[in-house]
Structure 1
Amino acid sequence: MPLSEHEQRMLEQMERALYAEDPKFATALEGSGLRTYTRRRVYQAAAGFLVGIGLLMAGVMIPDQIWISLVGFVVMLGCAVLAVTGWRKAPKPGDRPAAQGAAGGPAGRQPRQKRSMMNRIEDRWQRRRDEQGH
């Protein structure tokens, strides 16, 4: 459901206030750092998957060393899970995932500080709604 014009303006005001208050944090919310992080994570998982295949093959070729194959399988499975979860969490190039950036972005903030900022934003939002009589 698209936002109304009033909601769009309110959102733009909140974005401008966020950029004015903490530009570094606002930039982290844009998602470019998150995209890079998830892409790197998927590449690392793919490399780990190849290492797991190598261990699996080595365990099959070396007699009486089946445990190497088991370790290779576990490495492959773990890396496949990491790659799939990283791929699903990766934002699309045109998206602006503010909620995802706040939760997992490399902003370097303490959770208490994020919450207090969110509380301030919510308080401002509530004040504006009250001023307009909604």
Structure 2
Amino acid sequence: MGRVFLHQHQHHGQRHRFNREVARLIDEQTRYAAELELVMQNEVVAEGKETIAKERTVAAHEIARRAAEKALTAAQATHAAREKGLGVTERLQVLKQEYLLVHEQNLTTEFERLRVATDGATADINQPD
């Protein structure tokens, strides 16, 4: 009887550790998106171009939204791994791989898209009427 309880308690602790790790990664991604938004807003204020500030703020919100979606996708991938019977360590590996891959792809494409969008907006503002 004591063994069954101990095993269940141990499994419960692993689940908590796994859930804490997922929450930490989601918090980290959300914090990063907020920092990115702040940096972008500060850069725009320094340039004094309100139109670009609005566009960049919208883009930063979009990045944050996509980041939250990607974090959810990563959490779902680890849930699927748990359903397949993988241990906590293996599930965390799945989560970290998914997170890093998505993070790298997302930042590369979003920064490029943002750069192109803001370069175009700057050109429009600087053109004489």
TM-score relative to the length of structure 2:
0.37
Comparing both chains, which one has the higher relative contact order based on Cα–Cα distances under 8 Å and sequence gaps of 6 or more?
A: 1
TM-score relative to the length of structure 1:
0.36
